[in-house]
Amino acid sequence: MTDYPQPTPQDERSYPFDKIEPKWQKFWRDKGLFKVDTASYKDKFYCLMMFPYPSAALHVGHGRNYIIGDVVARYKMMRGFNVLTPMGFDAFGLPAENAAIKGGIHPEESTLNNIKTMKRQLDQWGVEYDWDRIVISCDPAYYKWTQWIFTKLYEKGLAYKKKAFVNWCPSCKTVLANEQVVNGACERCDSEVLQKDLEQWFFKITHYAERLLKDLEKLPNWPDRVKAMQKNWIGKSEGVEIDFKIENLADTLKCYTTRIDTIYGATFIALAPEHPLVEKLISGSPDEKNSLKAINKMRAESKISRADAEVAKEGVFTGRFVINPVNHEKVPIWVANYILMEYGTGAIMAVPAHDQRDFEFAKLYKLPIKVVIDDPKHPLDAGTMKEAHIGEGIMANSGQFNGMKSEVAVEKIADYFEEKKMGKRSTQYKLRDWLISRQRYWGAPIPIVYCPKCGIVSVPEKDLPVLLPKNVEFRPTGESPLKFSEDFVNTKCPKCHGPAKRETDTMDTFVDSSWYYLRYITPKLKDKPFDTGLVNRWLPVDQYIGGVEHAILHLLYSRFITKFLFDIKMTGFDEPFKNLFTQGMIIKDGAKMSKSKGNVVSPDKLIADYGADTVRLYTLFIGPPEKDAEWSDRGTEGSYRFLGRVWRLVEKIHSSSLRGAEGDEAISKVKIASAASQPRNDSLKRKTHLTIKKVTEDLDGGFHFNTAISSIMELVNETYDLSVSEIANDAVKQKVMSEAVEAIVILLSPFVPHIAEELWSNLGKPSSIFRMKWPEYDRSAIVEDVVTIVVQVNGKLRSKVEVPSDIKEEGLRQMVLADPKIKEITSGKTIKNFIIVPKKLVNIVIG
């Protein structure tokens, strides 16, 4: 048995982060480091992070967004910008309402509690904001203006009401947003989502479809991925709308096609079950009753299964025919479940030979298949084809167009249709109008009043906000909870002052978040949503940072609202976010971090164990920030070790040993590095300036935090090669060393602000480090007198030679060929080519 004392755990902490982090956080807040006076907009930089929904608590995956934003803000600050970084909360929404139904706590209470928790977490991370500008979307002072935007859209005819099919969860008894429907089932309870036909409010985003598409070109600094997703979502296609004459009826049937070149191959027409002409077409047909029954079945089914692509094709013949205008053939009209009423005209000309869906349908109902686009080398045979020929080819069986390339015929036939007035060119979009009404409680009420005399009346600005009443029974019944609040519903008509009723639906929370970035500039303004003059100075946002999951919805809606506000001259810009950065997700155990999967890593414990700087550093070092990354608890220890190394470097070498030249015992034992080709002080000075260059380029050229940090690690490693005794007696080395250490601290400061601030002050420098100028590298310090040239023979590395950096070609050639290894390899061989990449490489090509 031993009687030695047990180890004490105090040394587990290699530097006192628990003391310094709260200290500097308080310092920044007391000094108002992040407070901005928007009146001075010279060198402004608007750094915006997507504001969060206030859920219970943040995990380290959320943290990535805020940490990245904080690094950008601090870096830009040191580059002399007047940086605005505000934060707020997207505080309306279903989760709080559901929690309230379960737990009985009012959504407002739980939301405000969650905001408190999240704010504390952000504070502990050392992520700083101008909190005076906080914007909370459930605050009446904010949603007043959300409602105001609604009324403006309504005035311009861009907010309207219509009957529409919406997603309905029978078990939650509520309407769901499209994004809450996953593979046809409710996101939360997994029951099958039904469709209900309800009166709904829409924003006419389709009015902006072309501009939303075209203006993507104005956004060169958005990720291509996001632009591609938006483009895809808007889904523009150009084609021809054909007018088909219906045999024995006065009506024309309009069909939209992008493949007018296949018109001669149309062997049937297919209508969506919901097409308005369906009843008229089948009336009088011998099998009218059964047909209608089958069509009604399709109507019911097709809507449920719309989310499910693998539904079998089904159809009913109407008994009617159209006349194909190009060849006067009779073409039968069918009703088919795969045709969508929402797209195009809800009717298509079906060309089985050249469209896979039409092909399957034709096979099923034994309809004719006619090849009109052929490949002369491998002619198609309609009888034996296994699938449709989708691609281009040579026109066949197409009258006057035979022999043309199909891509030419597309234009020729379109011209022909327009000349003969048989149809016209037409552009279609997949984008649908934005359904914004929700039969839910926890949202901004739609500011509309229904008056028996005046009809639909929007609430005038002086009566806004329409306050969300607090005492409402919001248990799900399938109807808007506000319907049951008599005080809320019964009101006076703003026009005739007679009794009237309020709209009881609330707005989609995406409406709240589609303009919040404008509110931050003048967050407390009472008489306007924002000050146009100031907003025009501060926007567009210089850097927007957020998750790619918002690539379509939030970013598209925000662009739409910005364009609308531009059109009504509220703003002078029509794109809100100049630069967009979308960070990757943090993965744990192969899945996205989420509470339901039970793989969340809480920052609170990590910060308690290692400090915020370690968590920040690891989050930034884990990999390229735009990519997903697997979280490893081990990895945090590496970051922690590195910070300890920096701490000891500054504390021991610089502040004590250098001055006293005493030499800390542990440090004096550091080995003296092996001889280098240059004097060590030169090499360290050069490395210092190369590191400044590299870190600056990594931050300016993109968000390459991981490589910036690794280059600082290299510099730290190099300083460890110098021993204390080496420095102590050499004034030049001391200078080089302190320059390196200062560079390390300042270059690290955006990433790990607390330790940097502490070390900076320990070095005797004035606080705050974030009021310092970002260092610039010295060109003369990075030039080399001697460079190492890599010598390849026939592309293979064979040797390295050191040459003066200003060597001429002939001299270099001689030195390279004089190298013993090269001499041996090249002896007796003919040198065919001698390629020189200056200061880098030589490649000798021999026979």
Partner RNA sequence: GGGCAAGUGGUGGAAUGGCAUACACGAAGGACUUAAAAUCCUUUGGCCGCAAGGUCGUGAGGGUUCAACUCCCUCCUUGCCCACCA
Instruction: Tell which positions 336-355 bind RNA, by CB under 7 A.
Output: 337-346, 348, 355
Neighbours of 219 (CB within 10 A): 19
Helical H segments across 208-331, by residue range: 209-214, 224-234, 278-282, 288-304
Q: Least distance in Å: CB of 276 to RNA?
A: 14
Q: How far is the CB of 272 from RNA (least distance, A)?
A: 6
Q: Which of 1, 2, 103, 675 binds RNA (CB under 7 A)?
A: 2
Judged by CB under 7 A, the chain residues 320 through 339 that form the site for RNA are 337-339
Show the tokens assigned to 153: 């859209």
Contact assessment for residue 519 and residue 498, using Cβ atoms and an 8 Å cutoff: no
State yes or no: residue 120 binds RNA (CB under 7 A). no
- Judge residue 638's burial from the number of C-beta atoms within 10 Å of its C-beta, 0-12 exposed, 13-18 middle, 19 or more buried: middle
Half-sphere exposure of 528 (CA within 13 A, CB side): 13
Residues between 647 and 666 that touch RNA (CB under 7 A): 648, 666
CB 845 → RNA: shortest distance, Å? 5
Q: Cβ 95 to RNA, closest distance in Å?
A: 19
Q: Which residue has the tokens 């529409």?
A: 164
By CB under 7 A, which span of 200-208, 225-233, 477-485, 804-812 interacts with RNA?
Answer: 225-233
Does residue 840 touch RNA according to CB under 7 A? yes
Judge residue 165's burial from the number of C-beta atoms within 10 Å of its C-beta, 0-12 exposed, 13-18 middle, 19 or more buried. middle
Shortest Cβ 352–RNA spacing (Å):
12
Q: How far is the CB of 788 from RNA (least distance, A)?
A: 6
Using CB under 7 A as the binding rule, the residues of this chain from 65 to 94 that contact RNA are: none
Q: How crowded is the C-beta side of 531, counted as CA atoms within 13 Å?
A: 13
Q: How many residues does the chain have?
A: 847
Q: Is 10 in the site for RNA (CB under 7 A)?
A: no
- The region of 15-23, 415-423, 620-628, 810-818 touching RNA under the rule CB under 7 A is 620-628
How far is residue 750's CA from residue 695's CA, in Å, rounded to a whole number?
11
Q: Which of 95, 184, 476, 638 binds RNA (CB under 7 A)?
A: 638
Of the pair 143, 401, the CB lying nearest RNA is at 401
What is the smallest separation between the CB atom of 364 and RNA, expressed in angstroms? 11
Q: Is 471 in the site for RNA (CB under 7 A)?
A: no
Give the residue, chosen from 150, 642, 703, 770, that forms a contact with RNA under the rule CB under 7 A.
642
Asked if 403 contacts 395 with a C-beta cutoff of 8 angstroms, the reply is yes
- How far is it, in rounded angstroms, from Cα 807 to Cα 803? 7
With respect to RNA, which residue has the nearer C-beta, 518 or 622? 622
DSSP assignment of 438-501: ES-SSSPBP-EEEETTTEEEEPPGGG---PPPSS------SS-GGGG-HHHHEEE-TTT-SEEE
- For residues 270 to 309, the per-residue mask of contacts with RNA, x marking binding by CB under 7 A and - elsewhere, is --x-----------------------------x--xx--x
Per CB under 7 A, 113 contacts RNA? no
Q: Which of 117, 195, 258, 767 binds RNA (CB under 7 A)?
A: 258
- How far apart are CB 586 and RNA at their closest, in Å? 11
Of the candidate residues 7, 103, 766, 847, the single one contacting RNA (CB under 7 A): 7
Nearest to 248 by CA among 316, 317, 323: 323
Q: How far is the CB of 540 from RNA (least distance, A)?
A: 24
Per CB under 7 A, the list member of 232, 283, 400, 594 interacting with RNA is: 232
298: phi then psi, degrees, rounded to nearest 5 = -60, -40
Using the minimum distance from each CB to RNA, give the nearer residue, 461 or 637.
637
Cβ-contact 515, 558 below 8 angstroms: yes
**Amino acid found at 187:** E
Report the distance separating Cα 294 and Cα 290, nearest Å. 6
Find the shortest distance in angstroms from Cβ 8 to RNA. Answer: 8
Task: Collect all residues with Cβ–Cβ distance below 8 Å to 385 and sequence separation of at least 6.
Answer: 353, 359, 369, 371
Regarding 228 and contact with RNA (CB under 7 A), the answer is yes
**Count of beta carbons in the 10 Å neighbourhood of residue 319:** 16
Among 83, 798, 819, 822, which residue interacts with RNA (rule: CB under 7 A)? 798
Candidate residues 23, 173, 218, 225; the one interacting with RNA per rule CB under 7 A: 225
814 is a contact residue toward RNA (CB under 7 A): no
Among 224, 411, 589, 806, binds RNA (CB under 7 A): 224
765 binds RNA, rule: CB under 7 A: no
Taking the complex as a whole, the smallest distance from the CB of residue 609 to RNA amounts, in Å, to 13
- Asked if 526 and 519 count as a contact pair (C-beta separation under 8 A), the reply is no
Among 117, 738, 792, 826, binds RNA (CB under 7 A): 792
Q: How many CB atoms lie within 10 A of CB 275?
A: 20
Shortest Cβ 508–RNA spacing (Å): 16
432 DSSP 8-state letter:
-
CB 322 within 8 A of CB 245: yes
Asked if residue 841 binds RNA (CB under 7 A), the reply is yes
- Report the C-alpha gap between 479 and 88 in whole angstroms: 31
Least distance in Å: CB of 506 to RNA? 23
3-state secondary structure (DSSP) of residue 608: helix
Task: Tell me whether residue 118 is exposed, middle or buried, using C-beta atoms within 10 angstroms of its C-beta: 0 to 12, 13 to 18, 19 or more.
Answer: buried
**Closest of 204, 259, 254, 216 to residue 237, by C-alpha:** 259
CB atoms within 10 A of CB 466: 23
411 belongs to the binding site for RNA (CB under 7 A): no
Q: Is 348 or 555 the residue whose CB approaches RNA more closely?
A: 348
Kind and range of the H or E element at 406?
helix 406-419
Cβ pair 270, 361 in contact under 8 A: yes
From residue 226, how far is each of 206, 270, 555, 582 by CA, in Å?
19, 35, 9, 9
What is the C-alpha radius of gyration for the chain, rounded to an integer number of angstroms? 35
Could you say whether residue 447 binds RNA (CB under 7 A)?
no
Q: Which is nearer to RNA, 574 or 628 (CB)?
A: 628
- Judged by CB under 7 A, the number of residues near RNA is 95
CB of 795 to RNA, least distance (A): 3
Of 83 and 722, CB closest to RNA: 722
Token reading at 633: 């608890």
Residue type, 240: V
Tell me the closest approach of the beta carbon of residue 175 to RNA, in angstroms.
Answer: 18
* Binding of residue 425 to RNA (CB under 7 A): no
Residue 49 interacts with RNA (CB under 7 A): yes or no: no
Out of 22, 170, 184, 235, the only residue in the binding site for RNA (CB under 7 A) is 235
Instruction: Tell whether residue 687 is a contact of RNA (CB under 7 A).
Output: no
Residues 482-541 close enough to bind RNA by CB under 7 A: none
Min separation Cβ 810 and RNA, Å: 19
Task: Give the nearest distance from C-beta 804 to RNA in angstroms.
Answer: 17
Distance CA 661, CA 837 (A): 46
Write out the binding residues for RNA, residues 694-733 only, by CB under 7 A.
704, 706-707, 709-710, 713-714, 717, 720-721
Residue 641 binds to RNA (criterion: CB under 7 A): yes
User: Is 407 among the residues that bind RNA (CB under 7 A)?
Assistant: no
Of residues 540-579, those binding RNA (CB under 7 A): 548, 551-552
Instruction: Produce one character per residue of 322-351: b if its CB has 16 or more CB atoms within 10 Å, e if not.
Output: bebbbeeeebbbbbbbbbebebbbbbbbbb
By the rule CB under 7 A, 239 interacts with RNA: yes
Angle at 94 between CA 93 and CA 100, to 5 degrees: 110
Residue from 4, 486, 605, 828 in contact with RNA (CB under 7 A): 4
Which residues inside 367-396 make contact with RNA, applying CB under 7 A? none
Q: Is 634 in the site for RNA (CB under 7 A)?
A: yes
Closer residue to RNA (CB): 248 or 674: 674
